[in-house]
Amino acid sequence: MNHFELSGGELACEDVGLSAIAEAVGTPVYVYSTATLERHYTVLRDALVSEGLGDPLIAFAVKSNSNVAVLRTLGRLGAGADTVSEGEIRRALAAGIPAERIVFSGVGKTEAEIAFALRNGVGEINVESEPEMHTASAVAQSMGTRATIAIRVNPDVSAGGHAKISTGKSDNKFGVSFSEAERLYAQASNNAGLKPVGVTCHIGSQITHLAPLEEAFVKMRSLVERLRGEGLAVERLDLGGGLGVPYFNMPTPATPADYAAMIARTMKGLDVQFAFEPGRMISANAGVLLSTVQHIHERPEGRKFVVLDAAMNDLIRPAMYDAYHDIRPVKPREGDPVTYDVVGPICETGDTFTRDRDLPRLEAGDLVAFMSAGAYGAVMSSEYNSRLLVPEVLVNGDQFAVIRPRPTYEDMLDREAMPGWLASDT
Ligand code: LLP
């Protein structure tokens, strides 16, 4: 459930009509709902707790939505943060998320990033390969400390979904095999710079069926048991993120309750602290991208293009993954739907949000909302075509606030510098 509903003929976010936000901030703009973020976090947590999975760490995947106000909203409920760069760690810390609730993942952490994580007391470094484990050890020893690590395993299961976001097959770059994990865990336990506390996996994103997750989790459980059988301490099992969300044209994904029940079943009797790294399931349906129709361009042969002020630089998922986002007029007109291609103003054909979509009739000046845009939306935006970075707004009940302002053109130009040999006019 989300809090974007029609109210008095207009799409609202909680108690704020979207046209009021468009008027105050302009478009394009991302709009997030506090109540939806809170609800999604709480539904997942309650499901896990009620299945007897103890006091799990729910480390929100910052890559899905990294705005500090969003992170703080979740942090206040007890969420941790799953991060993949120093920048994301800094965001989580700036949001007030305690360092011990921060997990540091990613296949290519630099020495400087590992040192930053250790200096700041980050709770768990998810080591993805043998060389990375040695780097973590060397950095920790040079700082006179030990790095708390989990070994990321690549369970070699096919998660389905889009190939560009599948991570759990052995030909993907992520994690080590089960046999390597056993060897590395034993090695780490005897290493002065490392404290291995657990194992972790993440097999992909937008996973709608539980079967691949279950297959991976069963294998992870056996790994924990084998490690313990070898006398190694395993305190934590981090099961990653990946649960899909409804994008309206997709098969309805498994619910958090189904997910929690499956985990309780596969992990029955295993005494371990569970950790999770959900991103999309918390943030996707908590946000929309609001845009204004510039005009309708009708070709003589009949194709009708809705040209928006939002483009692929603001929301790249359709261009990059052929992703489907529901598009809703903020004030839908009655009457027969019209078949449109919805496009942005960028100079390439890939700047097409959808083709042949039936929508209520649109006119220049109308506002439309791209639904389910709270995850992998603003975080993947850019200034391509020198378009200003898209702003973000957070709604809370009947209030809203700009949580990332639209930059000015001066801001954009001031970031660049002219080399001395080009500085003079001649
Ligand atoms: N943990 C790790 C280690 C990850 O790599 C990811 C996502 C997550 C957690 C969170 O996964 P989620 O719960 O959000 O599915 N840009 C793509 C999605 C890329 C996901 C990458 N990793 C998209 O727009 O669909």
**Is residue 24 scored above 90 in pLDDT?**
yes
Q: Using one digit for the tens of pLDDT, what is the confidence trace for 326-352? A: 999 999 999 999 999 999 999 999 999
Do residues 255 and 116 share a domain?
yes
Mean pLDDT score, 221-246 = 97
> 102 lies in a domain?
yes
According to the model, what pLDDT value does residue 158 have?
80
Mean pLDDT score, 307-320 = 98
Strands (E), 99-247: 102-104, 124-127, 147-152, 194-200, 236-238
| Phi/psi of residue 124, nearest 5 degrees | -155, 125
pTM: 0.97
Ligand 1 mean position to 203 CA, how many Å? Answer: 9
Do residues 247 and 295 share a domain?
no
Give burial (CB, 10 Å; 0-12/13-18/19+) of 255: middle
Do residues 203 and 80 share a domain?
yes
Atom of ligand 1 nearest to the CA of 316: 24
Do residues 193 and 275 share a domain?
yes
Q: Is the minimum distance from the CB of 287 to ligand 1 under 6 angstroms?
A: no
Please report, for the domain that includes residue 148, its CATH number. Answer: 3.20.20.10
Ligand 1 mean position to 204 CA, how many Å? Answer: 7
Percent of the chain with pLDDT over 70: 97
Q: Is the minimum distance from the CB of 278 to ligand 1 under 6 angstroms?
A: yes
Higher pLDDT, residue 156 or 274: 274
Q: Is the minimum distance from the CB of 83 to ligand 1 under 6 angstroms?
A: no
> What's the whole-number average pLDDT of the chain?
96
Buried b (16+ CB within 10 A) or exposed e, 10-33: bbbbbebbbbebbeebebbbbbbb
Please report, for the domain that includes residue 298, its CATH number. Answer: 2.40.37.10
Q: Is the minimum distance from the CB of 64 to ligand 1 under 6 angstroms?
A: yes
According to the model, what pLDDT value does residue 252 have?
85
Do residues 27 and 38 share a domain?
no
User: Which of the listed residues 251, 282, 313 is the one where a domain comes to its end?
Assistant: 282
> 101 lies in a domain?
yes
Mean pLDDT score, 396-409 = 98
Atom of ligand 1 nearest to the CA of 167: 5
Q: What is the DSSP letter of 95?
A: T
321 is in an annotated binding site: yes
If one counts the domains in the chain, the total is 2
**Is residue 1 scored above 70 in pLDDT?**
no
From 125, 127, 280, 282, the mutation candidate for ligand 1 (largest count of ligand atoms within 8 A of CB) is 280
Mean pLDDT score, 261-285 = 98
What's the sign of the alpha-carbon dihedral 126, 281, 36, 355?
Answer: positive
> 347 lies in a domain?
yes
Q: Cite the active site residues.
A: 347
Mean pLDDT score, 378-402 = 98
CA-closest residue to ligand 1 atom 6: 241
Do residues 304 and 245 share a domain?
no
> 421 lies in a domain?
no
Ligand 1 mean position to 183 CA, how many Å? Answer: 27
User: Which of the listed residues 221, 248, 282 is the one where a domain comes to its end?
Assistant: 282
Q: Using one digit for the tens of pLDDT, what is the confidence trace for 86-113? A: 999 999 999 999 999 999 999 999 999 9
236 is in an annotated binding site: no
- The residue range of the domain holding 207 is 34-282
Strands (E), 201-303: 236-238, 273-276, 287-298
CA-closest residue to ligand 1 atom 8: 241
> 409 lies in a domain?
yes
185 is in an annotated binding site: no
Mean pLDDT score, 239-246 = 94
Do residues 260 and 175 share a domain?
yes
317 is in an annotated binding site: yes
Do residues 69 and 206 share a domain?
yes
Q: Is the minimum distance from the CB of 317 to ligand 1 under 6 angstroms?
A: yes
According to the model, what pLDDT value does residue 288 have?
98
Mean pLDDT score, 308-328 = 97
Mean pLDDT score, 203-231 = 96
Do residues 274 and 194 share a domain?
yes
Do residues 126 and 43 share a domain?
yes
Q: Using one digit for the tens of pLDDT, what is the confidence trace for 39-84? A: 999 999 999 999 999 999 999 999 999 999 999 999 999 999 999 9
According to the model, what pLDDT value does residue 174 have?
83
244 is in an annotated binding site: no
Residue 376 and residue 379: Cα distance in Å, rounded?
6
Q: Is the minimum distance from the CB of 256 to ligand 1 under 6 angstroms?
A: no
Q: Is the minimum distance from the CB of 283 to ligand 1 under 6 angstroms?
A: no
Least confident piece of the model among 4-13, 15-24, 170-179? 170-179
**Which residues, in sequence order, are CB contacts of 236 under 8 Å at separation 6+?**
57, 124, 150, 197, 198, 199, 272, 273, 274, 275
Q: Is the minimum distance from the CB of 292 to ligand 1 under 6 angstroms?
A: no
- CA nearest neighbour of 132 among 117, 225, 88, 94: 117
Dig out the tokens for 345 from the structure.
Answer: 């103003």
> 422 lies in a domain?
no
According to the model, what pLDDT value does residue 202 have?
95
According to the model, what pLDDT value does residue 412 have?
97
Do residues 113 and 141 share a domain?
yes
Percent of the chain with pLDDT over 90: 92
> 419 lies in a domain?
no
Do residues 276 and 349 share a domain?
no
Ligand 1 mean position to 217 CA, how many Å? Answer: 17
From 41, 64, 104, the mutation candidate for ligand 1 (largest count of ligand atoms within 8 A of CB) is 64
The pLDDT confidence band at residue 249, using thresholds 50, 70 and 90, is: low
> 270 lies in a domain?
yes
The pLDDT confidence band at residue 186, using thresholds 50, 70 and 90, is: very high
128 is in an annotated binding site: no
**Is residue 270 scored above 70 in pLDDT?**
yes
User: Which of the listed residues 257, 282, 307 is the one where a domain comes to its end?
Assistant: 282
**Is residue 165 scored above 70 in pLDDT?**
no
